[in-house]
């Protein structure tokens, strides 16, 4: 039986303990997701933590984390976003990815045929992939049915014949290993990002002004999905794709995903219609506000002058604490 213990985090709707792992996790190759108790132990051992997240991204959590660390005589430094900048950043990223030529051609072609914000970018991170492939196939079928161009990034594994069949049989699809994610998100043809909701991906998407559709896998992914879809109403979350212990009753809605192909398809169809419609446009506006707040974090200093942003101030504090 699944535990109905509630987890309560300030600033978030309560969730059942099993909801923190909404997917049965499959990690490719020898990569293993760290156990939560090891992460917790590490936080208690260190003198400080450097976060790639700006304070503005989740101000309530930032305050609470800082207070908790302070009680231990330690600090957390919010210095995000930490992203490459400058005229050469795109060229550097493209040069490091073997599939970049194909992706550039694909995005340029779709930009001409379908216009801006038309592409759905799909990535579950460098190491993760849905264990119930039937759910992924069902979502891909809906995307094809709605004639949405998409790029599917996959980890270092061979795509199954069924996934490959969907890709090869649809002229508006491209699958690639190791995609230049920041380039794709910055491209004007990209409209939405279907993601596992890892923190790095969310920061990159927000900084690029691209809203997300959340397919969270575990731990922080689940909280990130709630923060973006519920707290900020700047994203959508898929529930029918949940697997394993995470497919139990959802506390905040009272609903239990059935996970059937029909239910997965119906939810994907509804979410995609919303995302590429007027409701999605409103969520994009909210995301752009978050983006603008994020970009303020590093303002000032020698380059911009004027009042310094919170992350710039914190970074200077970090360097001072390190004696640099």
Selected residue with higher pLDDT from 268 and 37: 268
| pLDDT score, position 85 | 75
Residue 252 lies in a domain: yes
Flag whether 199 is in a domain: yes
In a domain, 29, yes or no: no
Domain CATH for 277: 3.40.50.2000
In the prediction, which pLDDT does 130 show? 93
> Is 282 inside a domain boundary?
yes
- What per-residue string of b and e applies to 289-309 under the rule 16 or more CB within 10 Å gives b? ebbebbbbbbbeeeeeeeebb
The model's pLDDT over 299-316, given as tens digits with 9 standing for 90+, comes to 886 655 678 999 999 999
- Residues 218 and 196: their CA atoms lie apart, in Å, by 9
**pLDDT above 60 (res 33):** no
- The whole-number average pLDDT for the span 44-66 is 90
pLDDT of residue 40: 65
> What's the pLDDT tens digit per position in 74-92?
999 999 999 887 767 778 8
Asked, for residue 274, whether it belongs to a domain, the answer is yes
Closest CA to 210 of 195, 220, 222, 223: 195
Residue 48 CA to residue 39 CA, distance in Å, equals: 14
Model pTM score: 0.92
Return the percentage of the chain with pLDDT > 70, whole number: 93
Mean pLDDT of all residues in the chain? 90
pLDDT tens digits for range 243-300: 999 999 999 999 999 999 999 999 999 999 999 999 999 999 999 999 999 999 998 8
**Could you tell me if residue 301 is left (phi over 0), alpha (psi between -120 and 50 degrees) or otherwise beta?**
left
Task: Give the model confidence (pLDDT) of 194-216 as tens digits.
Answer: 999 999 999 999 999 999 999 99
Residue range of the domain that includes 268: 111-293
pLDDT tens figures, 124-159: 998 889 999 999 999 999 999 999 999 999 988 889
Residues 94-126: tens digit of each pLDDT: 888 888 999 999 999 999 999 999 999 999 998
Q: Is residue 81 part of a domain?
A: no
Instruction: Kindly state whether residue 268 falls inside one of the protein's structural domains.
Output: yes
**pLDDT value of position 166:** 93
Structural domains of the chain, count: 1
* 177: three-class secondary structure by DSSP: strand
What is the reported pLDDT for 96? 87
Let me know if residue 236 belongs to a domain. Answer: yes
């Amino acid at each position: 039986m699944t535990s109905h213990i509630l987890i309560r985090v300030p600033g978030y709707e309560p969730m059942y303990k099993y909801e923190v792992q909404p997917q049965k996790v499959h990690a490719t190759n020898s990569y293993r997701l760290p156990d939560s108790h090891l992460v917790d132990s590490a936080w208690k051992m260190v003198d400080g933590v450097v976060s790639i997240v700006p304070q503005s991204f989740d101000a309530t959590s930032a305050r609470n984390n800082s207070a908790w660390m302070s009680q231990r005589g330690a600090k957390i430094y919010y210095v995000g976003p930490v992203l490459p900048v400058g005229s050469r950043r795109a060229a550097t990223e493209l040069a490091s990815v073997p599939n970049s030529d194909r992706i550039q051609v694909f995005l340029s072609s779709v930009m001409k045929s379908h216009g801006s914000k038309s592409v759905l970018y799909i990535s579950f991170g460098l190491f993760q992939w849905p264990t119930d492939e039937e759910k992924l196939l069902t979502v891909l079928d809906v995307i094809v049915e709605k004639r949405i161009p998409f790029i599917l990034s996959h980890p270092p594994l061979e795509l199954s014949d069924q996934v490959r069949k969907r890709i090869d049989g649809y002229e508006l699809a491209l699958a690639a290993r190791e995609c230049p994610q920041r380039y794709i998100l910055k491209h004007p043809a990209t409209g939405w990002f279907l993601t596992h909701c890892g923190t790095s991906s969310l920061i990159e998407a927000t900084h690029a002004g691209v809203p997300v559709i959340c397919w969270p896998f575990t731990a922080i992914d689940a909280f990130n999905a709630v923060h973006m879809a519920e707290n900020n109403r700047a994203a959508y979350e898929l529930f029918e794709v949940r697997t394993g212990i995470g497919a139990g009753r959802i506390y905040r809605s009272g609903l239990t995903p059935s996970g059937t192909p029909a239910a997965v398809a119906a939810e994907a169809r509804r979410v995609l219609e919303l995302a590429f419609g007027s409701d999605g446009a409103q969520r994009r506006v909210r995301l752009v506000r978050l983006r603008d707040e994020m970009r303020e974090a590093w303002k000032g200093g020698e380059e911009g002058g004027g009042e310094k942003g919170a992350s710039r101030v914190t970074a200077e504090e970090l360097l001072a604490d390190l004696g640099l």
